[in-house]
Structure 1
Amino acid sequence: MTGALLTATLAGPLSEPAHSAPASLYAPSSLVMTTGHGEKAATTAPERAVTVNCAYTTTGTHPDPRQACADLDRVNGDLDRLATLRVNETGRPCTKEYRPIVVTVEGVWRGTRVNYEHTFANPCIKETQGASAFAF
């Protein structure tokens, strides 16, 4: 009797259906970024769109997804803080011309929904204040 009880106890859990493991131990971080000339996304047609996936492996159509993810990590996903990373470290001066360019970012960053829009005065300022994340 003890042998049968021991066998049933050990075999019982093995015969139950296995629970599916999560697809990843990392919170999802997948963003779609667009840019277009204009002041508001609602009235501006996107001229370029890129993707960046910063989960376990870094992928996407962004020209430098690895550096974009590194910059996003450094500011903990706070897109407004990107300008604090590299304010024109290239030494390239930006003109003061007003040729607005709007950037949108939608998706998920570390499990939190992102819906971001920012208008820069011109493309040079977008690329210097947006660090590598907006350099597309």
Structure 2
Amino acid sequence: MRHYTKATTWARRGLTAVAALLLAGAATAHGAQAALRHVDKGDWLYVTVTHGDARAGDTRGTLLLCDPPRGHSRAAQACAELRSAKGDIRGIPHKEVFCSMIYAPVTVRARGQWQNRTVDYTETFANACVMKARTGDVFALDG
């Protein structure tokens, strides 16, 4: 049995946040510092969207904070969807939309903490329309 102080727990969360940023491939000094400042403030996810090949495509990412919602162009909507799904991105209700059958792969990734549980989600969709229909505003990084 291990006993952790509050400071130790925050430090561990900070290391988790930095590790998530590094593994997401978008860890800048500013991004890592932002993650460390906010990890003790509730639910958060570092979300990335890669258009094209997951290894060589165009990747964008941001830190989504939900207590209060910020750090994301649609933070309030994304946090509301995550709350209704209890932090499970796969549990977000799918929207009934018509998407083209053009294959333009989009890989999304979310890593972080939700209600003291670690979140590690990765999925590739056929195109951005399908991604939006399945994940709502969580990965809507284009504004």
Q: Which TM class, normalised by the smaller chain length?
A: 0.5 to 0.7
Amino acid paired to 2:91: R
1:1-136 equivalences under 5 Å are: 28-38=42-52, 40=54, 43-45=55-57, 47-55=59-67, 57-60=68-71, 62-82=72-92, 84-88=93-97, 93-136=98-141
Give structure 1 regions of 4+ aligned residues with deviation exceeding 4 angstroms.
Answer: none
Q: Distance in 1 between matches of 2:113 and 2:43?
A: 5
SS at match of 1:124: helix
CA RMSD between the two structures: 2.3
Structure 1: 5+ residue stretches without partners: 1-19
Q: Which protein is bigger by CA-based radius of gyration?
A: 1
CA contact (8 A) 1:58 1:66 kept: yes
Higher helix share: 2
Structure 2: 5+ residue stretches without partners: 1-5, 11-39
Q: Distance in 2 between matches of 1:85 and 1:54?
A: 21
CA drift of 1:52 comes to 1.0
Q: In terms of mean alpha carbon deviation, does 106-115 or 126-135 score higher?
A: 126-135
CA contact (8 A) 2:107 2:123 kept: yes
CA drift of 1:37 comes to 2.1
CA contact (8 A) 1:37 1:44 kept: no
Give the TM-score taking structure 1 as reference length. 0.67
Q: Distance in 1 between matches of 2:88 and 2:96?
A: 16
Identity %: 29
Residues 94 and 114 (structure 1 numbering): CA distance in 2 closer, same or farther, change over 3 Å? same
Q: Distance in 2 between matches of 1:104 and 1:44?
A: 15
SS at match of 1:47: strand
Q: In terms of mean alpha carbon deviation, does 27-36 or 69-78 score higher?
A: 27-36
- Number of equivalenced pairs: 104
Match of 1:8 in 2: none
